[in-house]
Amino acid sequence: MKKEIKKIALLTGGGDCSGLNAVIRAVVKSAILKYNYEVIGFMGGYHGLLMDDFIKLDLKTVAGIFHQGGTILKMSNKDNLFNFKTVDDKGKTIYKDMSDVAIENLKKHNVDALVIIGGDGTLTSARDFSRKGVNVVGIPKTIDNDVPATEITFGYRTALDHIMLSLDALHTTAYSHDRVMILEVMGRNAGWLALEGGIAGSADVILIPEIPYDINSVAKTVFDRYNRGSKFTIICVSEGAKPIDGDVTIKKLDKDSPDAVKLGGVGDILADQLEKVIKPVTGQDIRVTTLGYIQRGGVTNTFDRVLGTKYGSYAVDMIARNEFGRMVVIRNDHMDSVRLEEVVGSGKTGQTSSGGARIVNPHGDLVNAAKDIGISFGD
């Protein structure tokens, strides 16, 4: 029997990105104007759901937020309510399943459906709440563009703009000083940001996780450019890039995060390796810029404003149709949905067991086009 919907809630979990406020705005405006639903938002992701920290969301609340990066609902990537870190009476750290407390909060406020916006970890908990009877609709979020089942995620295109503009800026100083400039970008184990950002920013070398690199091949590109009169080189490297027969560079381990392994530092290692080969021959200096969290912030671009609107409004339509336990996707440029299990797998509670992230095809059209115009991948 189709459930009558009167009130919905939403939350944003994981890391921030541009376009989140566009999604929130679309959910609220569609829910109120099209279906006359009441809407509330839990603050700080799942932590707000646990602590019953929420705000009322109406047309006034979402006015003026369309262009803003980040999220007015705040977010956290450290609160898995199915394995929640707490302290017992003796001061010892323990982990407890607090999901029932969150569910009682939803019941207390007569919430008929919950929109959950996030990446793998957030959507894994969305799947688990769905298994416990919560009417859940998921919306994929990441600048890395690596969520399975959907063609593109909001925030990705704005992050690409930041990478492109950064590479444009590095070109001027690289040319002026005849330097090798390395830009390290995010992406985890998927190379989309480095690949498309590097192409748009006229990088000479692009290093991505899907194509392990040979440092001698990278050096050869620098030498070839130098010998033909181009005495500078621009390299765009993904944080997850790794050398042939090597491994990724780990910046630190954060056991309290669902994504415990924090990548970073490959740009510095690459610079050290290249300098030993290049500087004795050409005299070129090598400089590294790590773009970091700049990729996540700032004003949301046109594409992500529109994409976020499509995701948010479609999620509300799914609620009206009682399509729960599913995530909004874009396939063949059309809105659709898939079961959450297709995204994060059907494993045990708290465990993501999907087939892996959506990664770059090393033999695909985009890589081939880049190679056709002379971009090296260090292979």
What does the domain layout of the chain look like in residue ranges? 7-154+300-344, 160-296+361-372
Confidence class of residue 147 from pLDDT cuts 50, 70 and 90?
A: very high
The answer to whether residues 54 and 42 touch, using CB atoms and an 8 Å cutoff, is: yes
Instruction: Report the SS3 class of residue 205.
Output: strand
**pLDDT confidence band for 370 (50 / 70 / 90):** very high
Marked catalytic residue, from 16, 79, 120, 144: 144
3-state SS record for 69-111: CCCCCCCCCCCCCCCEEEECCCCCEEEECCHHHHHHHHHHCCC
Asked if 38 and 61 touch (Cβ cutoff 8 Å), the reply is no
Top pLDDT among 329 and 350 is at: 329
Averaged confidence pLDDT in the chain: 93
Amino acid at 347: G
Which pLDDT belongs to residue 194?
A: 98
- pLDDT per residue as tens digits for the range 60-114: 999 999 999 999 999 988 889 999 988 888 888 899 999 999 999 999 999 999 9
Give residue-wise pLDDT tens across range 42-59. Answer: 999 999 999 999 999 999
pLDDT in tens, 148-187: 999 999 999 999 999 999 999 999 999 999 999 999 999 9
Torsion of CA 259, 51, 43, 81, to 10 degrees: 20
> Which numeric CATH code is attached to 160-296+361-372?
3.40.50.460
Answer yes or no: same fold for 7-154+300-344 and 160-296+361-372. Answer: yes
pLDDT at 89: 81
| Cβ–Cβ under 8 Å, residues 20 and 115 | no
DSSP three-state, residue 307: helix
For residue 254, the model assigns a pLDDT of 66
Residues 6 or more apart from 154 whose CB is under 8 A from it?
17, 18, 19, 20, 22, 23, 141, 304, 307, 308, 311
Distance, CA of 134 to CA of 128 (rounded, Å): 9
Quick one: pLDDT band at residue 256, thresholds 50, 70, 90? low
Q: Is 144 a catalytic residue?
A: yes
Helix (H, G, I), strand (E, B) or coil at 274: helix
Q: What percent of the chain has pLDDT over 70?
A: 96
CA distance 198 to 167: 8
- CATH node for 7-154+300-344: 3.40.50.450
| Region 111-138 average pLDDT | 96
The whole-number pLDDT of residue 258 equals 59
Distance, CA of 244 to CA of 240 (rounded, Å): 13
Question: Regarding predicted confidence, which is higher, 353 or 235?
Answer: 235
